Amino acid sequence: MCAVRNKQSRNGRRNRSEWFGVDPVISVGNLWKVFGSNASQVVASDELKSLSRQELMDRTGAVAAVRGVDFDVAPGEMFVVMGLSGSGKSTLVRCLTRLVEPTAGTIMFEGENILEADAKRLRDLRRNKFSMVFQHFGLLPHRTVADNVGYGLEIRGVPRAKRGERSQEVIDLVGLTGYEKSYPDQLSGGMQQRVGLARALAGDPDVLFFDEPFSALDPLIRRDMQSEVIRLHREVGKTMVFITHDLSEALKLGDRILIMRDGQVVQVGTGDELVGAPADDYVRDFVKDVPRSHVLTLKWIMRPPRPDDELDGPELSPETVVREAVRSVLGADKPVKVVRDGELLGVVADEEILGVVAGEV
Amino acid sequence: MVAVAVPRRQIPRKALIVGGIVLAWLVLWLVFRNVGTLALDASELTPLHRWINSVNDAVGASRNSNPVFLYFFNEIRLVIDEFVTFVQALIAQPSFGRPVPVIGWLGVVAIAGFVSLAVAGWRVALLAVAGFVFLGLQGLWQESMDTLSLTLAAVVIALLFGIPLGIWAGLSDRANRIMTPVLDFMQTMPTFVYLAPLTLFFLIGPASATIATLIYAAPPAIRITAHAIRSVPHNTVEASESLGATRKQTLLKVLLPSARKTIVLGVNQTIMAALSMVTIAALIDAPGLGKTVVKALQTLDVGTAFNAGLAIVVLAIVLDRVTTAATERRSLPRWAFFGGFGVTGVAVYFSYTYLWAAEFPSEVEIGSSIRKGATAVTEWVQDSLPVITNGFKDFVTSVLINPLQALLAESPWFLVALVIVALSFLIGGVRAAVVSAACLGVLVATGLWQDAMITLASTLVATILVMILGVVVGVWMGRSRRADRFIRPILDAGQVMPAFVYLVPILALFSATRFTAIIAAVVFAAPVAIKIIADGIRAVSPATVEASTALGSSSWQTIVKVQLPMARRALTLAANQGLIYVLSMVVVGGLVGAGALGYDVVAGFSQGQLYGKGLAAGVAIVVLGVMLDRLTQAAAKRWTN
Amino acid sequence: MARHSVLGAVLVGALALAGCGGAKVGDSSSGAAGDCGTFNLAVNPWVGYEANAAVLAYVAEKELKCKVTKKELKEEVAWQGFGTGEVDAVVENWGHDDLRKKYIDEQKTAVSAGSTGVKGQIGWYVPPWLAKEHPDVLDWNNLNKYADQFKTSESGDKGQLLDGDPSFVTNDEALVKNLNLNYKVVYGGSETALIQAFRQAEKDKKWVIGYFYSPQWLLNEIKLEKVKLPEYKPGCDADAEKVACDYPDYDLDKIVSKKFADANGPAYQLVKNFKWTNEDQNTVAKYIAEDKMKPEDAAKKWVEANGDKVKAWLAKA
Ligand SMILES: Nc1ncnc2c1ncn2[C@@H]1O[C@H](COP(=O)(O)OP(=O)(O)O)[C@@H](O)[C@H]1O
Ligand SMILES: [Mg+2]
């Protein structure tokens, strides 16, 4: 409940037009990653590039994990990449920090093409600008929680005392107070991932990357952790790129969601855009089971006022989620007006609301 | 169940081809029997053997003038000699003008206890103290300390080189590719083969003994370190990289610490290998328990040999438990650490100063009882069992060994080669066929083809027996915790007890025959196979076993249809390891009637003019090992996928 | 914490008290080496050799005050040691013409130091019970008659001739062929295997014929009988392929390193003068092998009973 309301407010704070009003933190252009010894040949040939993954595999033995991906991420945004297993998400997010070396394309980070960074610059970026949280935690089993969290700082040469202080701060922040001296194998999965989170936060990066961080967790714990990330996002206000294969997680967290399929981008948009206007059958199929009343906002279901509508009913914003509007709409005996900045955009009456709710059953 | 049934269905076509090949072989064998067998009499030499002899002589003759000797081998020898002598001076030999070593028995016991306490905890510390005191009670304190000195020196040097090499092989695929065959070679090459030349290069005594031990003991450390580095989870390394770690930082802070546990296991293996080597090194005057065993054997004094063998087993158990326990994370309370440190310091001081703490008191001893007991048991066995054992020997010899040997050794060489290459192709495709062909080529070149075939026949029979024992006992242990608890220590002891100790009773039971050699090999190889299979059976998911039981399977059905098929990987590994272990006993087999390659090696070590032949035989054993290893691995891959 | 430290202190104190009594290391004077210096004595792995070595070492230590270092080595390795200075003497050498040629003639690192007085015999032996029940088995001409009896699982349809102490050169394969014997040479592979075979044969009255040699401590326990082969004549074993005669008798001798001989110290004199008989060696060998005495004790016992012989070795020194 709480989480949904948070998201609601964030959605309310920022709308589409704003994202393009500022310079993006990350800007990815025509990014390719092909695995195989003949990778560079593949991206050099338009013909090969146009083949489907399977055809390419059959012809050259190469695997095109990421194929011509473009997107921008705005500062402070929670950007979610979603797709089925094998669609290339992990490869994509690793390309962004060059843990996997991209085959072709550009990745602009704060105006700098990081594909041109040398080893030292790349290390600097990794130490100071971005950090990552992994699906399988990647904790060091021989170190205590505190030492795991401080590992990134240690690598940067931060003195022990300062390291301890900062570690403690982030340990408190992720709610691990009291576990500083424990070893990873003494913690539950959820707690371990908190350690992973703390480690990523310790270096105070500008951008956090998450690669399916909660997929290995039990559903209840997963929900807690999602709330935790939302809380952190609000508190520290960092840009986050979040990979998931779980649509509900994507909808819950994402300011915007990029849907990937076979290495390609299928659609980018806010949750209600995906549900309200799926780009193709693939996305439609995907979002088919989503409880639409939880995602769609009034702007997706409103209709132009008809002459016989009485236009003196209650007003609601177009960003109001349907579920939240149900009571007002059904309770009113007149259609509800959808209004932004005093301008009437449309109306919503019982039949529109019932259309959405009934479709879910 | 379905998974089990499907591969079965596919076999017949291939089985038909194999059957065809074997049938053709049999027919051709009848026709060409004893033609082109490349036989060589025991005292006959080939030009290659003579050439190796002359190289050997030339090296020996030039050792005082050749700069390679003066500035390379001599230097190495000096350093190692100094090191070993120093360790011996500390705990084993009278030194620095004193009639006793620097640290006497009390000090050594205290140090052993304290180190064990620090790295392995209370229980192991107690075991270590008890074990070391037991060595003294056996009346073998000094011999044991000599063995320990040599082992420790060899292990330290092995690790000094082994771990960095292992790290390199773990990080670099190319280094790994180059090192693997060298390590294979080092491990399968029979020690006897390089014992004599080592003394040429490094003279007689501790240095040569240490180097011989080192050659045998370093490979496990290298292999396991490389494996440990390789098996650090990729995501841990990636996480470290994502935080901006340099390669060096990742190595030092992630790879090595994460691999520590496994590397300690490598250390453990190295120690065990070193200990098993010291008996053989006794043949070039390595001091210690090995010498006691070898000397006792001259007069067939099983009691004395057993007593010394038992001391080696005790040392092995203590060192094994300490290193195994050292893989666990533990921290000793501060007071215990400093208390232990203080007590140890005092004990060391006493053992330096006072005679009673320096020399193990000879009034209390149990060695003579152990000797008498072992002798009595041996005599009983020798007197009462041959009635049964002779029948068994004759049966196996006539049903298994003789036919197989006749087929392998009395067929023309090209026929056998053709059959082996064809079978290799069926098992592992072109690659396997090429490897086999190359190996067979080398065998022909060594001039010892027929001996190699005789040894191959015995090796195969021994491996079959090992697998039968392995499955029977392994399944039993895998299914019953109690059986496991009871049998495992016996297997452990069987693995470290020097083979020389049990050769005498086995000889009494089976005379000097190929079968005796086979039994010796089985005794040595079976424990490994049994353990692997037991672990494999235990690892079969209990859920599957439960499901099978729920369907009403009998125990037998569960074993045959569920547990064994699901433990396939363990079975193939056991067969592979069993083969390698059997091969490493070929030379010992040569001492008790195996003839063929084993005898060639032994004779080459003993007689100058057979040296070249012995070396060629050693190479032939290695080549057989490589071929069989690759074949079983290919078969395993085919079967488990 | 504090309590534990107290405990530790008490423990340490108690140990210290316990330690106060007792003799200190170095109270008794350690035996200093005399003018003889160090004597590196190779010990080859058979009991007869060890008997020689034990007595020599005992005399060198007690009478000449040498510091004797025994090195347990196989023959070939021991001979190598002459060149490196690690071995001064080998005190029972069985022929080994190949080694003589290599180290005495070619590398010139070794020299002979004369006979030990012990006569060595190599040949084919059978257990006493067999010699008693079938005396004619002791003549090689009758061997084919008994071939069937000597059959084993290793020899197939022929009789088994058990061979194979790997340290010795044997002509047995050639002998079997050239004497037209219906036998197969089977390689036991070690002295241990041979001894065990003869022991069992005597105990269980089994048929065994095998390669053996004298002096050997086992002969004190079991009087193996030698089979008569065509008589040895000098030169009859010149061509290894065509040998059809018995092994020669060996005059077992002593080999020393050139350096050791040139230095001509008391230990060398002792080695050179050392000479005794088969019986003497057998006595000491029996003490060691059967009575399980330590070599020092065995040597002591013999030396005390044979003072005059020992005196003769030392006389000219
Ligand atoms: N190192 C690699 N080598 C070859 N193929 C790879 C490698 N890593 C990933 N792939 C392939 O790339 C595709 C995308 O993988 P991945 O990025 O892991 O997908 P996701 O994270 O969406 O499940 C898959 O087909 C996978 O098999
Ligand atoms: Mg993934």
Residues B219-232: pLDDT tens digits?
888 988 988 888 88
A37 CB less than 6 Å from ligand 1? no
B399, B295: one domain: no
Decide if B299 touches C, using CB distance below 8 A.
Answer: yes
Cβ contact A151:B240 at 8 Å: yes
Amino acid at B524: F
- Chain C CB contacts of B398 under 8 Å are 153
What is the percent of chain A with per-residue pLDDT over 70, rounded to a whole number?
93
Count of CB atoms within 10 A of residue B319's CB? 25
Confidence of residue C26 (pLDDT cuts 50, 70, 90): low
- Chain A CB contacts of B240 under 8 Å are 138, 140, 151, 155
- Predicted-complex ipTM score: 0.78
Preceding omega of C215 cis (within 30 degrees of 0): yes
Of the three residues A290, A312, A339, the one that is the final residue of a domain is: A290
Cβ contact B590:B597 at 8 Å: yes
A95 CB less than 6 Å from ligand 1? no
Q: Looking at per-residue confidence, does A261 or C72 come out higher?
A: A261
Decide if A121 touches B, using CB distance below 8 A.
Answer: no
Q: How far apart are CA B476 and CA B489, in angstroms?
A: 15
Closest-CA residue, ligand 1 atom 5, reads A35
Residue B97 within a domain: yes
Decide if B207 touches C, using CB distance below 8 A.
Answer: no
Residue B76 within a domain: no
Which residue stretches of B447-513 are H helix? 449-479, 481-496, 499-510
A96, A8: one domain: yes
Confidence of residue B368 (pLDDT cuts 50, 70, 90): confident
DSSP element (H, E) containing B32? helix B2-32
Residue B6 within a domain: no
CATH number at residue B268: 1.10.3720.10
B247, B343: one domain: yes
B254, B343: one domain: yes
Residue of C nearest to B101 (CA): C25
A17 CB less than 6 Å from ligand 1? no
Q: The domain C32-119+251-315 belongs to what CATH superfamily?
A: Periplasmic binding protein-like II (3.40.190.10)
A228, A307: one domain: no
Confidence of residue C9 (pLDDT cuts 50, 70, 90): low
* Residue C8 CB partners (closer than 8 Å, separation 6+): B335, B338, B339, B342, B343
Q: What does pLDDT average to over chain A? A: 85
Tokens 């005092």 correspond to what residue? B346
B394, B291: one domain: no
Of B205, B508, B607, nearest to C166 by CB-CB distance is B607
Mean per-residue pLDDT for A340-356? 85
A97, A50: one domain: yes
Q: How far apart are CA A183 and CA A205, in angstroms?
A: 25
B525, B601: one domain: yes
Tokens 């080529």 correspond to what residue? B441
Domain that includes residue A311, residue range: 294-359
Closest-CA residue, ligand 1 atom 1, reads A35
**Count of structural domains within chain B:** 2
Chains that touch C (3 or more CB pairs under 8 A): B
Q: How far apart are CA A151 and CA A158, in angstroms?
A: 10
A64 CB less than 6 Å from ligand 1? no
Mean per-residue pLDDT for C204-232? 88
Residue A328 within a domain: yes
Show the tokens assigned to B628: 């069989």
CATH number at residue A102: 3.40.50.300
Which range, of B365-379, B381-395, B477-491, C203-217, averages the lowest pLDDT? B381-395
Of B298, B349, B606, nearest to C76 by CB-CB distance is B606
Q: Looking at per-residue confidence, does B581 or B69 come out higher?
A: B581
B296, B395: one domain: no
**Count of structural domains within chain A:** 2
Domain that includes residue B199, residue range: 84-361
A86 CB less than 6 Å from ligand 1? yes
Confidence of residue C244 (pLDDT cuts 50, 70, 90): confident
CATH class of C121-250: alpha beta
**Ligand 1 atom nearest to A100, measured from its CA:** 1
Q: How far apart are CA B542 and CA A77, in angstroms?
A: 48
Residue B539 within a domain: yes
Residue A192 within a domain: no
Q: Ligand 1 centre and the CA of A88: distance in Å? A: 6
Residue B268 within a domain: yes
Burial of C111 (0-12, 13-18, 19+ CB in 10 A): middle
Inspect the structure and tell me whether chains B and A have 3 or more CB pairs less than 8 Å apart: yes
- Half-sphere exposure at residue C186, Cβ-oriented, CA atoms within 13 angstroms: 29
- Strand ordering across the sheet containing A104-109: A63-73, A26-35, A104-109, A112-113
A69, A120: one domain: yes
B95, B157: one domain: yes
Interface test with A, best of B234, B242, B258 (most A CBs within 10 A): B242
The answer to whether residue A1 scores a pLDDT higher than 70 is no
**Ligand 1 atom nearest to A211, measured from its CA:** 21
Q: How far apart are CA A211 and CA B412, in angstroms?
A: 64
Q: How far apart are CA A115 and CA C60, in angstroms?
A: 83
> Backbone phi, then psi, for A214, in 5-degree steps?
-110, 5
Residues C111-165: pLDDT tens digits?
998 898 888 888 899 999 988 999 988 888 888 888 888 888 888 888 889 886 7
Of A137, A140, A155, nearest to B257 by CB-CB distance is A140
Sign of CA dihedral C234, C238, C240, C242: negative
Q: How far apart are CA A195 and CA A174, in angstroms?
A: 8
Give B253→chain A minimum CA distance, Å.
Answer: 9
**Ligand 1 atom nearest to A53, measured from its CA:** 25
Q: Is A50 helix (H, G, I), strand (E, B) or coil?
A: coil
Write down the domain spans for chain C: 32-119+251-315, 121-250
Task: Please give the model's pTM, rounded to 2 decimal places.
Answer: 0.77
Mean per-residue pLDDT for B467-488? 89
Residues A18-70: pLDDT tens digits?
445 678 899 999 999 999 888 888 888 888 888 888 888 888 888 999 999 99
A87 CB less than 6 Å from ligand 1? yes
Of the three residues A290, A306, A333, the one that is the final residue of a domain is: A290
Confidence of residue B535 (pLDDT cuts 50, 70, 90): confident
Decide if A156 touches B, using CB distance below 8 A.
Answer: yes
Residue A360 has a pLDDT of: 60
Q: How far apart are CA A250 and CA A242, in angstroms?
A: 8
- Chain C CB contacts of B512 under 8 Å are 154, 162, 164, 186, 188-189, 193-194, 196-197
**Ligand 1 atom nearest to A33, measured from its CA:** 12
B407, B292: one domain: no
